[in-house]
Amino acid sequence: MKCTVCFDTIAFEPLPSDGLDWQVEQLTWALPGGAQSAVLSAEPDGALAGEVWLERLAERLGCPLRILDPLGRVFWGGWVEQITWQSGNLEVSATLAGMSNRVVCRYPLEQVTAGEWGRWAAGEWQQDDASVRRYGRKESLITLPMPDARLAEQTALAHITGSRSQPRWHTRHCPDHHPGVRMRITARGWWQRLDWICDQEPRGLLAHLGGGKTRQVLGRESSAIKLAQSFRVEQGFSAGQLWLRAAAVGSPQDGLRCSVCADDNGRPGALLAESTLPAWAFSGGFRWLLWELDAPCSLAADTHYWLVLERAGALDGQHYFVLESDDGPGYALGELRRWNAAEWLLQAEDLRFCLPAMQQTSELIAGLPPIEFLQGVRVWQSSGVWQPQWRTLKKTLRQTLETWLALGTQAGSQLSAVVDGQRIVQVFSLPHTPQVDLQISQTEQLPFIPEELLGGSLAIPFPQLHNLCRVESLRYTPQQGLRLQTNL
């Protein structure tokens, strides 16, 4: 099969032909993502000096790349990560691996008990504008071990003003002599490019994290049968996780129930949802503990609600629970009250709590902000699996997406994704439907695009293989054609 290699500008405008007959050495595809890697080679004639070809090759670094089949369809799509030029025994290469032209540095806050939500702060993003215009935005996160905002700014700036925002060039002596000029390109698929983006979502967090020096006893005596912390929802969301800082005294054998209740004239009202945490989860002293609801609870905007806590068993003066509060009524949108079997008494402090907004992973993926090198996202079914919307600055976007996909669906199906020839992320459940019947033949032209097979079920027409199998990865070479790896 004869393929055509096309290069584009960073704005995805076609570049004129460089006059070279680029040969495909190898193409691979895998789940998730689709197109994974490509290796191309060319040997120009001697009409131009070798150094001229090196300059032209360097212009292709970072460029979008399309490999078309004989019908003009995008057979493989991605971008040029590395170039290699050889003349005689001299080899020169350049790579974008390890480069970053937009950098931020984070540092820990001194409030070590604020949980993951209040553990880190970050300085301003620093970027090399010329490098971003030339290669696209490639982000990187640097983490300092000490709480120093000024050092964080200096560290990010030093990275950008140094050489690390440019491609890395290497020169070496090759043992095999090549009489002319030989050039090679290594490319990566668009899914791998998602590692160029640092993922973060600051929205979707209702929390009161400060304090920790004062505490509220619960379940020891009748003066503290229940605790109720009110909070105000400004933008509606679905609550599925309830976090509080708590510990146990002695060895309780029951557990602690946390309920979400409506507001009834400034007091806890109708029960909306609840979860009970067993006593063994409280071992280890004060820490953030999670009450997970069986199903998310929808909370309306501009409305007050209550978190109500009570032990699951009887009062016990030796074995009970303690919750951390702030050092005064520091939460302006709510209040803490204690139930003493007769009335709800107002307390001069607030509990430390956190309620992340929850969304289905399919909604989180579909709701991603626009990505400069992709055309969009299409999700073919709801996952039914809920995760927090808020995300700290820690992972790349590819890592986040693969984490969500690995959770699958509520029905037990696996989720995967590919970036298609139009640079649209297609998210689907496995096995990918419709099923494709693959006929092994001697024709040089394939009747399909390889990405259409990934995750699909194949009926292999061999007598010994009558079962359907799922395609996990593909590899193409001119010598061996298209080879499939399945789950059989």
Q: Same structural domain for residues 61 and 173?
A: yes
Residue 81 domain flag: yes
Residue-wise pLDDT tens digits, 303-327: 999 999 999 999 999 999 999 999 8
Give the domain-ending residue among 334, 351, 368. 351
Question: Is the model's pLDDT at 434 over the cut of 60?
Answer: no
Give the domain-ending residue among 412, 430, 448. 430
Q: Same structural domain for residues 334 and 370?
A: no
Residue 467 domain flag: no
Judged by average pLDDT, the poorest of 398-402, 422-426, 481-485 is 481-485
**Residue 328 corresponds to which amino acid?**
G
Average pLDDT over residues 4-9: 95
Q: Same structural domain for residues 340 and 366?
A: no
Question: Is the model's pLDDT at 30 over the cut of 90?
Answer: yes
The whole-number pLDDT of residue 482 equals: 79
Cα separations (Å) of 250 from 257, 286, 315, 316, 320?
Answer: 18, 13, 13, 10, 7
The whole-number pLDDT of residue 447 equals: 59
Residue 483 domain flag: no
Who has greater pLDDT, 411 or 472?
A: 411
The whole-number pLDDT of residue 452 equals: 73
Who has greater pLDDT, 464 or 92?
A: 92
Q: Is 304 helix (H, G, I), strand (E, B) or coil?
A: strand
The whole-number pLDDT of residue 465 equals: 46
| Residue pair 38/65 in contact by the 8 Å Cβ criterion | yes
CA 277 to chain centre: 29
Q: Same structural domain for residues 318 and 223?
A: yes
pTM of the model: 0.90
Give the domain-ending residue among 332, 351, 370. 351
The whole-number pLDDT of residue 439 equals: 42
Cα separations (Å) of 137 from 11, 15, 129, 162?
Answer: 12, 20, 9, 17
With a CB cutoff of 8 Å and minimum separation 6, the contacts of 447 are: none
Q: Same structural domain for residues 35 and 184?
A: yes
Average pLDDT over residues 356-385: 95
| Placement of tokens 């983490």 in the chain | 143
Judged by average pLDDT, the poorest of 64-73, 134-143, 179-188, 463-472 is 463-472
Residue-wise pLDDT tens digits, 174-208: 888 878 889 999 999 999 999 999 999 999 999 99
Residue-wise pLDDT tens digits, 243-286: 999 999 999 999 999 999 999 999 999 999 999 999 999 998 99
Q: Same structural domain for residues 216 and 279?
A: yes
Q: Same structural domain for residues 174 and 251?
A: no
The whole-number pLDDT of residue 205 equals: 96
Residue-wise pLDDT tens digits, 335-358: 999 999 999 999 999 999 999 999
The whole-number pLDDT of residue 225 equals: 96
- Measured CA to CA, the distance from residue 13 to residue 7 in angstroms comes to 9
Q: What is the number of structural domains in the chain?
A: 4
The whole-number pLDDT of residue 487 equals: 65
Q: Same structural domain for residues 215 and 363?
A: no
Question: Is the model's pLDDT at 411 over the cut of 50?
Answer: yes
DSSP-derived secondary structure for 193-225: HGGGSB--B--SEEEE----SEEEEESSSGGGS
Residue 468 domain flag: no
| Residue pair 37/476 in contact by the 8 Å Cβ criterion | no
Domain containing 290 equals: 210-351
Please, what's the b/e burial string for 365-385 (b: 16 or more CB within 10 A of its CB; e: otherwise)? bbebeebebbeebebeeebeb
Question: Is the model's pLDDT at 421 over the cut of 50?
Answer: yes
Q: Same structural domain for residues 156 and 48?
A: no
Question: Is the model's pLDDT at 46 over the cut of 80?
Answer: no
Residue 340 domain flag: yes
Q: Same structural domain for residues 320 and 224?
A: yes
Q: Same structural domain for residues 305 and 236?
A: yes
| Placement of tokens 């927090």 in the chain | 388
- For residue 432, is it left (φ>0), alpha (ψ between -120 and 50) or beta? beta
CATH number for the domain harbouring residue 304: 2.60.120
Who has greater pLDDT, 393 or 487?
A: 393
Q: Same structural domain for residues 330 and 243?
A: yes
Question: Is the model's pLDDT at 331 over the cut of 50?
Answer: yes
